[in-house]
């Protein structure tokens, strides 16, 4: 989809799995003979599609960190869907971006990476989301990843994906799940990319290759008489002075200690049997739910046992997460090899997704943590009602 904003800026809206988009990019560069080819990529995403061995060099310790596990799972899962759709239509995901880069090199044109760093975008989105949005988004993602329906993918129509209104409606649907994240992922990036294109247009004629879903928003900003966008402000990741999760994490052991002291002061030595019952409830609920998470992730049986034992203890120690411990055991028992990392960029089906050792490790980390977190919120009310009921 081509939009000529003015004599110096031409926007090409593309689908990431379309042969038509690849051809359109080639024709636009030949037709307009730009000085600059701008692509909707940041350096990280540029390296991801041009350096296929990046996964092989990923430090295993970064996979064990829970936040990284969620982000890597999401990235790999969404890429696998794109790859499967791309196979249906005979084109690699991101081929239009690669074509733009190749054409720029072929004609000796400057390349401009105009998207914001993906890590900044994701961090800003996560920071701006409220607790309810985070829970809802995590739940929707887990439902999608565990209920990966290949038949639904086959029903998708590429022509519909290229329709601006359909893509906009998909973005609107995401906005309903997490409106704060929608602002960062969609509207902020429209502003950011538009500003980058505007700045590049001062240096020469620009052909900008962008996702069709951003086309209308970018065009709207570029058509303004004055584009007043502060890039540094949009690249700033706010640091929350108050984190409710950290507060809850540190509060749990304090509450437990306070409850035990209170029971001993009010009931004396007779309180020990009740205290033992409280810890049994805590261990069973927290441990079982974390273990179920490890089982759903198809971890090793010893990983299940580790999650069961670790979760109740790590929930009382905010410096350590159950998923880290379970993930470390899974890593020792089933070490991912180079082939597993290489296959991350080739996965197309549910079978590929669940049989890969790297993905299994990420799933163990993520789902053991989720199980432990649910266990904490289930166990606390039960224990409270038992002590004070």
What pLDDT is stored for residue 196 in this prediction? 94
Residues 189-235 have pLDDT tens digits of: 899 999 999 999 999 999 999 988 788 889 999 988 778 888 999 98
Using a CB cutoff of 8 Å and minimum separation of 24, what contacts does 69-74 make? 69/323, 69/327, 69/362, 69/365, 69/366, 69/369, 70/138, 70/141, 70/366, 71/122, 72/362, 73/141, 73/145, 73/359, 73/362, 73/363, 73/366, 74/141
- Provide the β-strand partners of residue 210: 13
Mean pLDDT computed over every residue of the chain? 78
- Interaxial angle between packed helices 95-106 and 43-50, expressed in degrees from 0 to 180 and rounded to the nearest 10: 90
Q: What whole-number distance in Å separates Cα of residue 327 and Cα of residue 356?
A: 14
- 248-263: b (≥16 Cβ within 10 Å) or e: ebeebeeebeebbeeb
The three-state secondary structure class of 10 is strand
Domain residue ranges of the chain, discontinuous segments joined by +: 2-235, 244-388
DSSP-assigned states of every residue in 75-95: HHHHHHHHHHHHHHTT--TTH
Instruction: Tell me the pLDDT band of 164, cut-offs 50, 70 and 90.
Output: very low
Which pLDDT score, from 0 to 100, does residue 370 have?
86
50: left (phi over 0), alpha (psi -120 to 50) or beta: alpha
pLDDT of residue 155: 46
The pLDDT-based confidence of 162 (bands split at 50, 70, 90) is: very low
Between CA 25 and CA 31, with CA 27 as vertex, the angle to 5 degrees is 120
155 Cβ contact partners less than 8 Å away, ≥ 6 residues apart: none
Question: CA–CA distance from 116 to each of 66, 209, 220, 231 (Å)?
Answer: 24, 15, 19, 9
CA 178 to chain centroid:
13
């Amino acid at each position: 989809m081509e939009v000529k904003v003015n004599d110096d800026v031409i926007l090409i809206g593309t689908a990431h799995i379309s042969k038509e988009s690849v051809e359109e990019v080639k024709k636009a560069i030949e037709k307009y003979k730009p000085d600059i080819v701008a692509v909707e990529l940041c350096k990280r995403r540029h390296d991801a599609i041009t350096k296929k061995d990046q996964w092989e060099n990923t430090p295993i310790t970064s996979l064990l960190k829970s936040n990284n596990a969620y982000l890597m799972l999401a990235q790999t899962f969404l890429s696998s869907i794109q790859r499967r759709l791309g196979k249906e239509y005979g084109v690699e995901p991101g081929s239009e971006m690669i074509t733009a880069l190749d054409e720029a090199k072929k004609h000796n044109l400057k390349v401009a990476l105009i998207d914001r760093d993906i890590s900044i975008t994701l961090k800003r989105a996560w920071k701006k989301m409220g607790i309810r949005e985070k829970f809802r988004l995590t739940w929707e993602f887990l439902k999608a990843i565990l209920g990966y329906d290949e038949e639904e993918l086959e029903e998708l129509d590429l022509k519909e994906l290229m329709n601006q209104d359909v893509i906009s409606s998909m973005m609107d649907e995401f906005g309903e799940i997490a409106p704060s994240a929608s602002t960062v992922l969609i509207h902020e990036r429209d502003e950011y990319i538009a500003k980058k294109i505007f700045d590049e247009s001062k240096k020469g004629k620009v052909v900008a290759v962008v996702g069709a879903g951003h086309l209308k928003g970018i065009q709207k900003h570029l058509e303004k008489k004055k584009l007043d966008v502060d890039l540094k402000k949009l690249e700033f990741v706010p640091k929350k002075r108050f984190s409710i999760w950290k507060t809850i994490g540190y509060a749990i052991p304090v509450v437990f200690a306070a409850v035990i002291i209170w029971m001993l002061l009010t009931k004396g030595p007779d309180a020990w049997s009740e205290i033992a019952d409280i810890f049994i409830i805590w261990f069973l609920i927290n441990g079982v739910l974390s273990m179920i998470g490890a089982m759903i992730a198809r971890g090793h049986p010893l990983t299940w046992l580790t999650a069961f034992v670790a979760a109740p203890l790590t929930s009382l120690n905010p410096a350590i997460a159950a998923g880290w411990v379970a993930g470390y055991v899974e890593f020792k028992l089933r070490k991912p090899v180079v082939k597993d990392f290489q296959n991350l960029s080739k996965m197309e089906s549910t079978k590929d997704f669940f049989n890969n050792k790297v993905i299994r490790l990420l799933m163990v980390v993520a789902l053991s943590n989720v199980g432990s977190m649910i266990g904490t919120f289930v166990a606390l009310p039960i224990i409270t009602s038992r002590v004070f009921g």
